[in-house]
Amino acid sequence: MDENNRNIRQEIDQKLNDDVLRGALGRFAEAYPISRAKAYENVESIEELRDWVQQMKAATVERIEEIADQFVHEATRRGANVFRAANGEELKEYLLKLCKEKEVKRIVKSKSMASEEIHLNQALESAGLHVKETDLGEWIIALAGQRPSHMVMPAIHLNREQVAGYFSKELGQTIEPDIPFMVQVARQNLRQEFLQADMGISGANFGIAENGAIGLVTNEGNGRLATTLPRIHVAIIGYEKLIPTIKDAVPILRSLPRSATAQLMTSYMTMICGPTPAMVKKDDKWVEEEKELHIILLDNGRLKAAKDEKFKQIYQCVRCASCLNVCPVYTLVGGHVYGHIYAGGIGAILTAFLHSMGDFEKINELCIGCRKCTTVCPGRIDIPGLIEELRAQAVKEHGLPFAVRAMFDNVIANRKVFHTLLRLASICQKPLQSGRFIRHLPLFFAGLTKDRSLPAVADTPLRDQIKRITRNIPQPVKRIAFFSGCSTDFVFPETGEAVYKVLQNLNMEVIFPEDQSCCGKPMLGMGEREASKKVAKQNIQAFEAVNADIILSACPTCAETWQGTFVEILSDEPEWKARAEKLASKVREFTSFVAEEYEKAGRLTASTISGSKVTYHDSCHMKRGLQIYEQPRELLKATPGIDFVEMKDCDKCCGMAGAFGVKYAALSRPILKQKITNIKDTGAEVVAVACPACMMQLRGGLDKQLPTVKVKHVAEILAEQLNE
Amino acid sequence: MKKVCENWENLFPADHVGLSIFEEFQNRASAASAEVIRVKTPSDALAAIKNLIESIQAKKIVAVNCPLQQSANLYDEFQRMGLTLYTDNAQIAEHAESADIGISGVEFGIAETGSVCQDAYSIESRLVSTLPPIHIAVLNSNNILPGIKEAFDVISQVFQHGYISFITGPSRTADIERVLTIGVHGPSRLIIIAIDQATAGGAA
CA nearest to A286 within chain B? B90
Residue B202 has pLDDT above 50, yes or no: no
Give the CATH number of the domain where residue A91 resides.
3.40.50.10420
Query: Residue A216: closest CA among chain B residues belongs to which residue?
Result: B165
A713-724: average pLDDT: 90
A247 to B153: CB separation less than 8 angstroms, yes or no: yes
Cβ pairs bridging A and B (under 8 Å): 186
- Looking at residue A6, its pLDDT comes to 76
Please give the ipTM for the structure prediction: 0.96
Predicted pLDDT at A659? 61
Q: In this complex, do A220 and B114 lie within 8 Å of one another by their Cβ atoms?
A: no
Residue A499: predicted pLDDT: 97
Contacts of B164 in chain A (CB under 8 A): 270-271, 273
pLDDT at A315 over 70: yes
| Percent of chain A residues past pLDDT 70, beyond the cut | 94
Domain end marker among A265, A298, A331: A298
Contact of B178 with B148, CB cutoff 8 Å: no
B21-47 CB burial, b ≥16 within 10 A, e <16: bbebbbebbeebbbbbbbbeebebbbe
Q: Which residues of A touch B170 (CB under 8 A)?
A: 267
Look at residue A65 and tell me if it is in a domain: yes
Confidence of residue A530 (pLDDT cuts 50, 70, 90): confident
Whether A219 contacts chain B with CB within 8 A: yes
pLDDT at B201: 41
pLDDT band for position B175 (50/70/90)?
very high
Closest CA of chain A from B49, distance in Å: 23
Is residue A304, in this structure, part of any structural domain at all? no
d(CA A106, CA A192): 11
Confidence class of residue A2 from pLDDT cuts 50, 70 and 90?
Answer: very low
pTM as predicted: 0.88
- Does residue A194 belong to the interface with chain B, where contact is any CB pair within 8 Å? yes
Residue A477 within any structural domain of the chain? yes
Average pLDDT, chain A: 91
pLDDT tens, A47-60?
Answer: 999 999 999 999 99
Residues A496-518: pLDDT tens digits?
999 999 999 999 999 999 999 98
Cβ B186–A220 below 8 Å, yes or no?
yes
End-to-end Cα spacing for chain A: 65
The closest of A16, A64, A2 to A447, measured between CA atoms, is A16
Range A429-450 average pLDDT: 64
More confident residue, A337 or B188: B188
pLDDT at B154 over 50: yes
Task: Tell me whether residue A623 is in a domain.
Answer: yes
Which residue on chain A is closest to B174 by alpha carbon? A153
**Pure H helices in chain B:** 22-31, 42-56, 67-71, 74-80, 89-95, 123-130, 148-158
Distance CA A458, CA A448 (A): 19
Q: How confident is the model at residue A224 (pLDDT cuts 50, 70, 90)?
A: very high
Phi, psi for residue B15 in degrees, rounded to 5: -90, 25
Report the pLDDT value the prediction gives residue B76, as an integer from 0 to 100. 82
Q: How far is A137 from chain B (nearest CA, A)?
A: 5
**Number of domains chain A is built from:** 2
Q: Which residues of B touch A265 (CB under 8 A)?
A: 32, 110, 113-115, 148, 166, 168
Residue span of the structural domain in which A479 resides: 462-723
Q: Examine residue A538 and state whether it is found in any structural domain, yes or no.
A: yes
Q: Give mean pLDDT, residues B2-20.
A: 91
**pLDDT given for residue B204 in this prediction:** 44
Longest dimension (CA), chain B: 48
Q: Is the model's pLDDT at A422 over the cut of 80?
A: no
Per-residue pLDDT, A257? 97
What are the tens digits of pLDDT across the range A608-653? 999 999 999 999 999 999 999 999 999 999 999 999 999 999 999 9
Domain boundary among A243, A267, A298: A298
Q: What is the pLDDT of residues A161-204, one digit of tens each?
A: 999 999 999 999 999 999 999 999 999 999 999 999 999 999 99
Say if A579 falls within a structural domain: yes
Rounded Cα distance, A471 and A504, in Å: 7
**Which of A273, A298, A323 lies at the terminal end of a domain, its last residue?**
A298
pLDDT at A487 over 90: no
Mean pLDDT to the nearest integer, A68-72: 98
Q: Please give the residue of chain A at the shortest CA–CA distance from B187.
A: A221
Q: Which residues of A touch B127 (CB under 8 A)?
A: 228, 279
User: Which whole number is the average pLDDT over B113-122?
Assistant: 97
Question: Residue A399: inside a domain, yes or no?
Answer: no
Q: What is the set of domains in chain B, with CATH numbers? A: 8-195 (3.40.50.10420)
Which one-letter amino acid corresponds to residue A610? S
- Which among A135, A163, A225 is the nearest to B176, CB-wise? A163
Residue A1 pLDDT class (50, 70, 90 cuts):
very low
Is residue A370, in this structure, part of any structural domain at all? no
pLDDT of residue A342: 85
